[in-house]
Amino acid sequence: MRTSVFQSAEIEALVARAKATADGYVNDAVTSDLLNVGVYVLAAGAVDGQTPHKEDEVYYAVRGRGRFVCEGHDEAVAPGSLLFVRAGAEHRFHDVEEELVLVVFWAPPHEEP
């Protein structure tokens, strides 16, 4: 894949797109051969059914509140939280108190199933 030198995206447009999907996720905010960025939205009270991935990922919480568990480590999530998950690790968001809007960075790029 050959990508442009510069890409941009607007978070609110991505949030709207993510909310329109069955899983609350868009995977193509920014894409390249080495990285891609998506947006994941979890409504208050939502159940995060994700399974481990073969890529490393970083979550950045734009807004909302909840908790995150990764292989037994449980962490509060609030605006500004930055979370790293290595490839293959069991993880999920839980106890979502306020709608979570998360920017997700994948390396290498995440392939949709």
Supply the range of the domain harboring residue 61: 28-107
In a domain, 20, yes or no: no
Q: Which CATH number characterizes residue 41's domain?
A: 2.60.120.10
pLDDT score, position 110: 82
pLDDT score, position 112: 64
In a domain, 88, yes or no: yes
Give the span between the Cα atoms of 14 and 99, in whole angstroms. Answer: 15
pLDDT score, position 2: 61
Q: What is the pLDDT of residues 35-84, one digit of tens each?
A: 999 999 999 999 999 999 999 999 999 999 999 999 999 999 999 999 99
Among residues 1, 26, 41, 45, the alpha carbon closest in space to that of 106 is found at 26
In a domain, 7, yes or no: no
Among residues 51, 55, 57, 93, the alpha carbon closest in space to that of 75 is found at 93
Give the span between the Cα atoms of 70 and 75, in whole angstroms. Answer: 8
In a domain, 12, yes or no: no
In a domain, 70, yes or no: yes
Q: What is the pLDDT of residues 98-107, one digit of tens each?
A: 999 999 999 9
In a domain, 83, yes or no: yes
In a domain, 5, yes or no: no
pTM (two decimals): 0.93
**Count of structural domains within the chain:** 1
In a domain, 66, yes or no: yes
Among residues 106, 89, 87, the alpha carbon closest in space to that of 31 is found at 106
